[in-house]
Structure 1
Amino acid sequence: MTVRPPQNLSSLSPNAAVDVLAAEIRMEKAISLERTGEAAAKAVAILNALPLDDPERPRLLAETAEAVWGYFIQRELMGQSSHGAVIRDLAIPREVLVRLGVRRMP
């Protein structure tokens, strides 16, 4: 199977076309990282503002853990494997951290 660059890149050298594609991929990764980071920050803020005895807390706790886990995975895909600063900056509670990667039953 042969892969050809898009027609609008055909006037570029093969290396330049690859560089354009690599830049586009980096941009998409950065946008995805930002999106997952915002979702995690929002979920943590909502959870932290919720009273401990709120009946919605278990559901929000699971959703927050899933959002934070997704953000951590995205960071690791970008080569950022240390999450300590993020945990401090977002004030991620320990009750969320111990649930990372746990899947809820439907």
Structure 2
Amino acid sequence: MRKACLAGAVVLALAGSALAQRTYEGREAAALRCANLLSITAVFLFEAEQISPLERDVMLFATVAILERHVSGTRAEKQRALAVVRERRDVPETLDDYQRNARRCLKQFPIN
């Protein structure tokens, strides 16, 4: 089980004619982790009938807003980075992460 701190780096390989790497570090890596914990939790809670479709959509909107406002790169680069973050922890770890860090994430990465 791999743990990553909020300021950990997210490394991903980008597809293209030449293989390049993009590294997200510091605040951007933390923003990716926050976006991930919000999106995974939103889907999980909705599927478990713990939140309404509106609540799910609000959480997913927050995910997109964090990515748009606090992470550089193209949409495809951000999606690949989120895939890397998702590979690093399973759903129970992500839900625990949400309980510990959601408020801090929204303070650190405002969406308004």
TM-score, normalization: structure 2?
A: 0.39
Q: Which has the greater radius of gyration? A: 1
Higher relative contact order (CA 8 A, sep 6+): 2
- Taking structure 1 as the reference length, the TM-score comes to 0.41
Comparing both structures, which one devotes a greater share of its residues to strand? Answer: 2
